[in-house]
Amino acid sequence: MSISLAHDGLPPGITHFSLADLIEKIAPGTCRAEHLSATAVRVLKHYLLGCRSSDFERDKICGVWEQPQTTAQTLRISTKVLHNAEAELERGGFIERTHVPHARRTGQRRDGVIVNLAGFSLRPVIDGYGRWKARLEAMELHERAVASLRHEVVMLGRHIRATEAGGAIEQAERLLPRGRVSRIESIEKLEALKASLEALLVQLDLPSGDTKSSVRTEEIFAPNIPIQDSSKNCTRAPSAQNVADRSAAITPAMAASLASEDYRAVLPTVRPPGWPDIVEASAIACLWHGISQPAWASGAFGARYRS
Q: Checking phi first, is residue 246 left (phi over 0); if not, alpha (psi -120 to 50) or beta? A: alpha
* Predicted confidence pLDDT, tens digits, the chain (307 residues): 444 799 999 999 999 999 999 999 999 988 888 999 999 999 999 999 999 999 999 999 999 999 999 999 999 999 999 999 999 999 999 999 998 888 899 999 999 999 999 999 999 999 999 999 999 999 999 889 988 998 888 888 888 888 888 888 888 888 877 667 877 888 888 999 899 888 888 887 755 444 433 333 333 333 444 444 444 444 444 444 554 454 456 787 777 777 776 566 656 655 677 777 777 667 666 665 667 656 655 555 444 434 4
How many whole angstroms separate alpha carbon 266 and alpha carbon 244? 28
Q: Classify the C-alpha dihedral 126-131-135-141 as positive or negative.
A: positive
CB 85 within 8 A of CB 39: yes
Which helix H or strand E contains 135, and what residues bound it?
Answer: helix 129-162
| pTM exceeds 0.85, yes or no | no
How many whole angstroms separate alpha carbon 94 and alpha carbon 83? 14
**DSSP-derived secondary structure for 8-47:** --PPTT--HHHHHHHHHHHTT-SSGGG---HHHHHHHHHH
Based on its alpha-carbon atoms, the radius of gyration of the chain, rounded to whole angstroms, reads 32
User: Domain boundaries in the chain?
Assistant: 3-127, 133-205, 207-231+239-307
pLDDT of residue 262: 59
**Ramachandran angles phi, psi of 117, nearest 5°:** -145, 115
How many whole angstroms separate alpha carbon 44 and alpha carbon 125? 9
Please give the CATH architecture assigned to the domain spanning 3-127: Orthogonal Bundle (1.10)
CB 236 within 8 A of CB 171: no
